[in-house]
Amino acid sequence: MCTSIVYATKDHYFGRNLDLELSYGQVVTITPRNYPFKFRRTDPLPSHYALIGMAAVVDNYPLYFEATNEKGLSMAGLNFPENAHYFEEDSGKTNISPFEFIPWLLGKCATIDEAKKLLAEINLVNINFSEELPLSPLHWMLADQNEALVIESTIDGLKIYNNPVGVLTNNPPFDYQLFNLNNYRHVSPTVSSNHFAKNLELDVYSRGMGGLGLPGDLSSASRFVKAAFTKWQSVSGDSEMESVNQFFHILTSVEQQKGLCDVGNGKFEYTIYSSCCNMDKGIYYYTTYNNHQITAVEMHKENLEGTELITYPVVDQEQIHYLNK
């Protein structure tokens, strides 16, 4: 499963935790403006906005987990099992396979408003990338510097939600996740007065008691609440270092450690990587489970007029800074 958030200080940031039990050989991938995007059932994009993000590159095609384009529009796909539904082709709509969704939308749109116009005519069609790589059941968070949306393709059709929280996890559907926050309206970073019984002297015996009841398990509903609370109560300076540092701390509040989520056959779901992209500057930061040092790639230091994908292998070995070695 996964968690994605948007966050703002002076600049705007978008990223996610990727939580799975296996890796797909993902690499940081920059798609320049003139790399020819081809789609199975709609017209190609010989030129488009440049993208940066994490992708599995298969047959020279970037299968993006999440990406940000040069205008700042950002998008992440998160697991949505048992709820995601993809359709047969519809001649009256634009038929896009889910594996094409991120490059198609980010390649064409600079803002949420532009994306809404395309989403009104889209049909997410049930076409696998290949026999070896079938479609994953996903839903998506889409964000620019001003607002965020959640996009869910279910048996009832394509649903688009405004996302005032700026957080997305997995099941259940987003409308329930949003409603569920009502159950935590009492949670606070400060301790409330005694409303239990006025005649009882109840002691505030520990700091942090305002957060009693905040979930701490790894379920997607609990991670949604915890990430939303952490994000909205977060305090940070507005420098790049402070902002990026705080972004990763928010994601750390819902990261998964190996051994805590048993998926069977001796495998465990865990946070394979965490990412943070400065939407305004096109700088992509990440950490991995095995490497806590923040690694960065800057989109605008590359030739964005090129025609070939630019990839950087993930640095996945712990970097320890010795002071006396």
Band the pLDDT of 117: cuts 50, 70, 90: very high
Whether pLDDT at 145 is above 90: yes
| Count of structural domains within the chain | 1
Decide if 190 is inside a domain: no
Decide if 204 is inside a domain: no
144 vs 142: CA distance, rounded Å = 7
Decide if 254 is inside a domain: yes
Look at residue 202 in the predicted model and tell me its pLDDT: 86
Scanning the structure block, which residue is given the tokens 């590359």? 302
pLDDT tens figures, 249-297: 999 999 999 999 999 999 999 999 999 999 999 999 999 999 999 999 9
Across-strand partners of 61? Answer: 58
Looking at the annotation, which residues are catalytic?
2
Largest CA distance in the chain: 74
Decide if 201 is inside a domain: no
Look at residue 166 in the predicted model and tell me its pLDDT: 98
| CA-wise closest residue to 296 among 114, 39, 36, 28 | 28
Decide if 191 is inside a domain: no
Decide if 325 is inside a domain: no
Look at residue 63 in the predicted model and tell me its pLDDT: 98
Contact criterion met (CB below 8 Å) for 127 and 100: no
Q: Which domain holds residue 75?
A: 2-183+220-313
| CA-wise closest residue to 33 among 318, 305, 322, 317 | 305
Whether pLDDT at 98 is above 90: yes
Count the Cβ atoms, other than its own, within 10 Å of residue 198: 8
Domain CATH code at residue 119? 3.60.60.10
Decide if 206 is inside a domain: no
222 vs 224: CA distance, rounded Å = 5
Give the contacts of 208 (CB within 8 A, at least 6 positions apart). none
Decide if 193 is inside a domain: no
Look at residue 256 in the predicted model and tell me its pLDDT: 97
Average pLDDT over residues 113-121: 97
